[in-house]
Each structure stands twice: as structure tokens, then as C-alpha cells.
Chain A
Amino acid sequence: MIRIRQLRKEFAVRDGVFVALPGVDLDVDKGEFFVLLGPSGSGKSTLLRCVAGIETPQGGEIHLAGQLIYSDARGVFVRPENRGLGMVFQSYAVWPHMTVYQNVALPLTHGAKRVAKDRVRERVMYALSLVQMERYADRPVPHLSGGQQQRVALARSLAVEPVVLLMDEPLSNLDARLREEVRQQIMSVTKMVGVTVLYVTHDQSEALALGDKIAVMDGGRVMQVGTPNHLFANPATPMVAEFLGQVNWLKGEVSQAGAIDTPIGRIRADTKGLSGAVRIGVRPASIELYAAATSAPNEFVGEIIDEIFLGEQVQLRIRLPDGVIFETRAQKPFRGGHPDKTVFCQMDTSQMLLFAGS
């Protein structure tokens, strides 16, 4: 549905040029919910805005629905209004001088994909019904809450029946509870309509929950593309691993196949054919805590430094041998103020992340 090849985007800055996208390749299939995930400044929004046509790249090609919409070499640039897209913005970008109805109707009456006058009302009300906003149709948008405004923006972008729906951090202006609610709505509505979505976020839980596929970006490059499960279990780089969830890192040395020497002791695990210096990543979920030794393999003794009550979970910091500190979580208070701070940590090495180098 979207095919991007060698896309290059630079910005002129005070002392020279900042390369936001050095040459990106990306493929999004029809009907896919595709998430661009990355820290701020990773180029994900720039990439999205290039697809939208509100930024002009300096090199490469973009195809949309089999049609060339940008090519540097062939001098093609289709203006945003002629690309047939829908877009939801971080700032909602609902037009503040209009009602809910007028916001959704304007692209249908004045846009490139106009519909017959007598069908406008039907289309607008259908789009509003998708996000349960029909009863607010005549409200001026500044009178709505943030969540409602974003739902209007979603309805507006769906009403034009876009080729692709673009979403630029649509949840990050909302508070935590609303975020959950609107996220659910985005998921159900886009699945129902069956539209292809390109979605930008810096929040990994959002990406994992929504995405059929995720592309992790850093420094203007796509580091890895895959399904949420695949990326979580098999990150290509430590950066990808860290970006998808908390990781405790250990330096190690493969001493023989199946054994890695680390500052906390020897770990027995599948070394996947690696040798020499390695980096080991252990996610909190693959650490089991015991009050007493169980003599299972890969068990290390540690000392609880602090235990922070978070409500549904408890966050623990544990000092392992050689001053290594691991963070992990438990379902209920583990020691709960008990003076004995010794703990036995068992690592599930099947979920351990292993990278070559230090």
C-alpha cells in the first residue's frame, strides 16, 4: 500500500544541514496497522509527514496505492490534497471556529474527494457514529474535551474514506485514562473500517497493543521491522530491545559453548554460536524471585536495595554480586519491611537476549 525507497529528508539548520532521514526503505501492506516507534528525534514523524506531503523530501521515492506520489529522480510531487489521505494530529487540529459537524463535512464539501451534496450529511453522521460522537454534531469543538476532540479528528479523517490513515502521536496529549479509552476506539474503528494505518508513537506499550507490524526507528534509520511478538522476543539490536521494554544489562564473555562468564557468575544458556564478548539482556518478566535457595540452574543470590509500592505491582531493585543492580517487579510486596533482605533470583534463559560485542 505504501512503498518507500531511499527516502531522504534534510532540514537546514543554523550551522549547516540536519539529516532527518538519510535514506529510508519501508513497505506497508494493505489493511495493515503499521506503527513507527522511536524516541523523539528519530525521524518517525518526519517520515509520516513526507507520506502526507506536508514535508517535501530531498531524495528517494514514495508509492501510495501503486501510484508514484513522490520521486526525486522523476520530479514528481503530488500535493497533499491530491493524495487521498486522512490524518490525525497530536494537537487534534480540529478547526476551532467550526462545529463538530462542520469539521467533518468540510473535506467532503471543499476537498479533492467531494461527495454529492445530498450524501454529505449521511457520510458525516456515519463517521461520527463510528466514534460515538453523533449527539455532539452541533457543538462548537472548543467546548469538547481533549478526548472528544481527538475522536472528531478521527471521524474527520475517516469520513473521506482515505487510502491510508496517518496518525501522528494521536494519544500523547491525552491523560492516562483517556488514552486507554481512545486507544481502544482507534483499534476497533480501524479494524472495522479495514483501513490501512500508518501510526507514529514514542510509547512502546501503545505500539505493542495497536500494531500489526512495528518499525523501530532511531537516528532517521529503520532499525527493525516485525510483528510485536517477534520484535519483543528477537530484537535486532540492544537499542530495539530497550525501546520495547525494560531490560537489565550484563556484560559477559562466552567461555565455552553454553556457558557465559559474567560479573555475577557463570550463566548457562544457549550461546547461539557466539563467542568472545557478549551483552546479555534480562527482562524483568524472566526473573523469578525466591526467599530461599532452590538449587536450580542460573540462580543468583542478591540483596534487595529498595522496594517501591506502585499499587498493583511492587518495583524492586536488587544488588547482585560485583555491584550489579537489576530492576524487576513482583505482584505483591516481597519482603514488606522484613529485615531479611536476601533474595534468590532465577533467570529464565530461554527468554534471555544475547548480543555480540560489549
Chain B
Amino acid sequence: MSEPVNYLTNGWTIRSWLLTHDHKRIALLYLVSITGFFFLGGAAAALIRLNLLTPEGALVSAETYNRLFTMHGIIMVWFFLVPAVPVTLGNFIVPLMIGARDLAFPRLNLLSWYLFMIGGLVALYALFVGGVDTGWTLYTPLSTNYSKGHVVAAVVGIFISGFSSIATGLNFMVTIHRLRAPGMTWFRMPLFLWSLYATSVILVLATPVLAMTLILLSLERLFGIGVFDPALGGDPLLFQHLFWFYSHPAVYIMILPGMGIVTEIVTTFARKKVFGYKFIAWASIAIAVIGFFVWGHHMFVAGQSLYASLVFSILSYLVAVPSAIKVFNWLGTLHKGTIRFDAPMLYALGFIGLFTIGGLTGLFLASLAVDVHVTQTYFVVAHFHYIMVGGMVSAFFGGLHYWWPKITGRIYPEMWGRVAAILIFFGFNLTFFPQFILGYLGMPRRYHSYAPEFQILNILSTAGSTILAAAYLLPLAYLTWSLFWGERASANPWRATGLEWRTASPPPTENFAEIPVVTEEAYEYPPPEVAQHG
């Protein structure tokens, strides 16, 4: 075998992985880490669903239940959803897409993984050894003065991992500004990069506010310095304002990269130039900007001023417009395409459907009077899971399958990929659609036990979650299998445009033998080398 050395075969020691500066290896370190967090958070969710099989709580005590949903929320938000796409697929693909040899700051990239792991382990210690029962939202004064759990340790873990977010965001911004290949102008960049750029802006600007908020929370809890607790002269609504100032934009940190992946997949499998390139690009920026000014829609019943609620409601409707633009442009891209249904495309089509449902139910929550009825119920739980899980996680799986041949040099088993995608779609809907009805009927979220008339819908939801759990384990099995026995992938198995497909699968450590020169817009189908054969 005279196979050329690639980034995977370039060094076999543990040291060559743990001290690597290669963005591709760091992406894999991250991929293994967030996979672990995803299944831990998922296990907590499975226990929650099992407990809700009976009205009185089938499985665990109220205290354990509260710890479980706190565990689920904190792990999934900060240690899976926020980092997932940027640090794995983004880390791997960004330099390849813009024709660079690495990110702008390779050492910072490695440091960010270590910060992420330290933060994650501290948080896991707090959640598993000590137990935290505040919910991921950490509302004061419950979290500062009443909860008996290891709140400060959990907060320290989140705080540390925040620096990892900031480092990643900064790295992407500088890379996209400075390291684009000759001829790769802003409007020739693949739209995945626009979405990651917008995401990075939010990561860099919003995360410090979270950090400050968590410090204030810890000061109040440890030393009784009154900031949020009215008994100490503080204001509990101040905490909610600060918390959502980060946590609402964080929703866009989660979904924007997903939208970017879907754009790549839809155009590749429709074999057609994306419809409305500039509109999709600017929609990402618009979402990032307007997304900073809608946080108060989490507080329509919290006691904020009436006028604040009015302003936040209208801005929340405005931020929905660029999302709608994206959906219509994806449909426009499908129009007159030549559409193939490989697993990534099934995930992307699933994303469009589930994201649309999530977005439309967001209109209910942006509507002030309707929000009063359905907020803090399972309607909200269903809504944000349609966006985060139905949307973002579907997009993540789609992207993982799409770039899997590039990342590993192996083809995943296509049939299993399609089966998993379809199972996830149906399992997801069975789990979360009944929750919309539960919410309309008034079932509050975060309830360990509930009124008997809600049982039938809860059973449906739990049944769906078992399908969903199995469907999430499938890719873990067959993707792992393909690492060893999968068919070898060519450089461009999807016959796609984009610089990442112009280098070997898996790429060499330096990505490109020669830095490519870009002479055309993104998504010019058919790509040149294919045209030669066709």
C-alpha cells in the first residue's frame, strides 16, 4: 500500500492527538466529547419520560426528577447544542471550505477544547455527585438562596466552558476575515460559512454577559451580596433579563449553524445553485442582530413592564421574518432541481419540516395574549424541542453524514442512514407533538407528577421517545462500524461543489497540496471535474 499520508495516519501516539494543532483532529476530539455529553443528556431525558408514564410519577422521587431535568437541560444546552456544530463540523470544514491550511489560531483552538473539557467535567461533577435542582435557567432567588444543590460548582463549569465558546467564535471570525483563499470573496463563500460567521458574532458578544451573570449569582449565593434576591435588596427580574440576554441569542447559536448545513445539503442533493444566495446570507446576519433584542419574550408573564412586553413581542415577530425567508429559499432551491434522497437529504428535508413547525409555534408564543396561556407549559417544551432537536439535531446528523466521507475517508451504510433519518423524524414527532396539546390543556412543565387527565398524551410521548432513543443509537452503531469496514470514499462522493471536495478524503494534514484559487461563485452546478465526465 502506497497510500498517501492523511491527517488520520499522520501520527499514532496519544500525544499526537492530545497536543495536536490540526483543526481536523481537534474537531474529532470535540466530536467524541460531545457525543458523550449527548448520550448522558439523553439518558436523563429517557428517565424523565419514563417517570411521566403515570400521573403520580412512575420512577423517581420529586427531588431526583428535578435533578434529572436540570441535568438534561444544562448538559444539552451548554455541552451539546451550543458547541455541537461549530466545534465539530465547523472546526473541520471551515478551513477546507475557504481554502486554508488551518484556523487562524490553532493553539487557541486546542486550548478551547481543554477549557470545554474542564468546564464539562466540573459541571458533570456538580450534576452527578452533588445534584442541582434549579432547572437550567437557574432562576433567582431559588438558585441563590433556597436550592440545596451544588449550584456554584455547576455554574463554575458553565463559566469555564464559556471561554471555550468565545475562543471558538473569535477563531472563526478571524479565520473567515483573514484566511480566505485567493478569489474567495465574501459573496463566493458557501452559506455554511455565513451562518457560522453570524454564530461566531453571537458567541463572542453574548457569552461574556452569561459569564458576568453567573459570577453575580455565585457572589450572592456564596457571600450574600444582594444582587437578585429581594430579601437582600436585589431584583430577581434583573437576573432573568441578564440570563435571557445570553440565552435567547444562544438559541440562534444553536440553530444558525444548522440552517447553514441544511443549505449546503439541499443545494448538493438538488444539484442546483442555491436560490437567493444573498438573501440567505443576510438573513443569517439579520437573525444574529435582531436576535439580541428579543430576550424579553421569555418574560411576558414575569412582571416586566407592559411596554417592554409590547416592544419585545413585535421584535420577536420581526426575527421570524429572516427565518421564513430561509425556508422559502430552500423550497426555491428544490424547484427544478435534480433531487436525490441520500441520508443527508432526508435529514435536511426533515429539518425543513420540523423547523417550520417549531417556527410557526413560535408565532403563538410571540403573540402576547396567547403566550400568557401557553408559556411555562408543555407547549413551550414542545416548541423549543422542535427547533433544537427536530431542527438543530437533525441538521447536525445531516451534516455528520454529509461530511462523514470527507472526515473519515469511509462511506457510511446508506440504507441504515436512511432508516435512522426516517425513524428520527417519526420518533421525534410522536414524542413532541402530543406535548403541544398537553401545553394547550395547561400541563405545566417541570412537574414530577400531574393531573390524571394528562396521562394518555404523556404515554404517547414516552412511546415516541423510545423510538427516538433507538433511532439515535443507530448512527452510533453504523457510523462506528463504517470506520473500520466502510467502503473507501473518493474525494468527492456527492459530486458537490465546494473546496472541501477538491482535496482527498480524508484530507492531508495541510489540507491542500497547493492553495486553490477560486474563480466562480458558490454552488455552480455541475462542478467542473464532473462536467468533464458527463
A and B co-occur in one complex:
no
Interface on A for B, CB 8 Å cutoff? none
